[in-house]
Amino acid sequence: MPRTDAWTLTPDQLTSFGLWLYIAEAEYLVEAIIVKLVFIFFYMRIFRAPGVQRLLWGTVVLVSVAGVVFVSVVIFQCTPIQYLWVRWDGLHQGRCLDMSMVAWTSAGLNIVLDGWMLAIPMSQLRTLNLDWRRKLGVGLMFGIGAM
């Protein structure tokens, strides 16, 4: 793919790039939420204890609510919405949220959730009906998978 500097793009190309970046940003967040939920539902199939199931369902609710909030903030970060990809020309009126605080909050929450989602299966290793070598292997697999 040839490299193109931003200042060589036409106005329509800049606007189109902004629109596609906006779509990709929202899509990325939705996909990240789906991946987290898939892992949680996978854990539900492995760890059947009622206490763990409640913990996992609580995690599903937390991930889903946080996901809806952050996706909504990304989608509605500018008023009007299209101001996000047309504001570069200075001809349009609108306003946008300062997304740096949203990004830091999202990053922090995702780090905590990722740690939490690693801690859940690790805490259940002792309950698995496996010898210590296999438990070590499963623990390493979860640990490497978290990377």
Instruction: Decide if pLDDT at 145 tops 70.
Output: no
Whether the pLDDT of residue 141 is over 60: the answer is yes
Q: Could you report how far apart the first and last alpha carbons of the chain are, in Å?
A: 30
Cβ atoms of 94 and 80 within 8 Å: the answer is: yes
Q: Which of 19-28, 54-63, 75-84, 130-139 shows the lowest mean pLDDT across its residues?
A: 130-139
Mean pLDDT of 87-103: 91
Whether residue 117 has pLDDT greater than 60: yes
Q: Of residues 147 and 125, which shows the higher confidence score?
A: 125
What is d(CA 59, CA 37) in angstroms, rounded to the nearest whole number?
9
Instruction: Show me where the domains of the chain are located.
Output: 6-146
